[in-house]
Amino acid sequence: MNQRIASWLSKLRLHDSSTYHHSIRVSNMARRIAAELNLNQEQTQKLVLGCILHDIGKIFVPKSILGKSSVLTHNEWVLMKQHPIWGNDFLRNEGITDQDVTGAVLYHHERPDGTGYPFGLAAGDIPFCARICAILDAFDCMVSGRPYRKSITFADAKIELWENRNKQFDPYVLTVFLQMSESYFIELHHTMNSECDRQYLSQNDPPYLLSESAFLG
């Protein structure tokens, strides 16, 4: 993996380890769904990189907010909702301008019905990589839990995703995602511990991460 990208992930891990582990899992799922969607190698590489960095903007969100176990206040929520913008700005300042990659970072909380953030984009205005990332992000949050919310079963998470098709999630991508083998998700969540993180980062870089020059403007 490019050393700069690795250093950004290290910063994220030090700032909030749960977000770091979440990002690893989301990128791993991205690699799997890319095959189901018949994406080519370049498209897969960009999707996976966008997904592994989708929450990089949270390094600018106070730890007290990220780890809060109760409902966020209005002001705290306003700050939290800035993380896609902060992440996009961070990557662009670092020279990464590929729109598929930055789109996943900037738009993964947008919704087809226009009620998402930070810009309230609707349906086709949301980049494809961001639509994919939104589903993977939400699924992992539901089954892994958050400080303010207990985890739910895979079955319940799938039901919640399906009930929000067209409103929160792209129906085509969601259908493909829900058809993926449940055994894969079980394996992912049982094995993605710290040791597996190190193996994941060291063993899986070459197949799906483009060279740095592919993303520089």
Q: What is the pLDDT of residues 77-116, one digit of tens each?
A: 999 999 999 999 999 999 999 999 999 999 999 999 999 9
CA atoms of 160 and 35, how far apart (whole Å) = 24
pTM of this prediction?
Answer: 0.86
Q: What is the pLDDT of residues 170-200, one digit of tens each?
A: 999 999 999 887 666 666 666 554 444 444 4
**In sequence order, which residues have a C-beta less than 8 Å from that of residue 190 and are 6 or more positions away?**
none
Strand ranges inside 14-148, DSSP E:
none
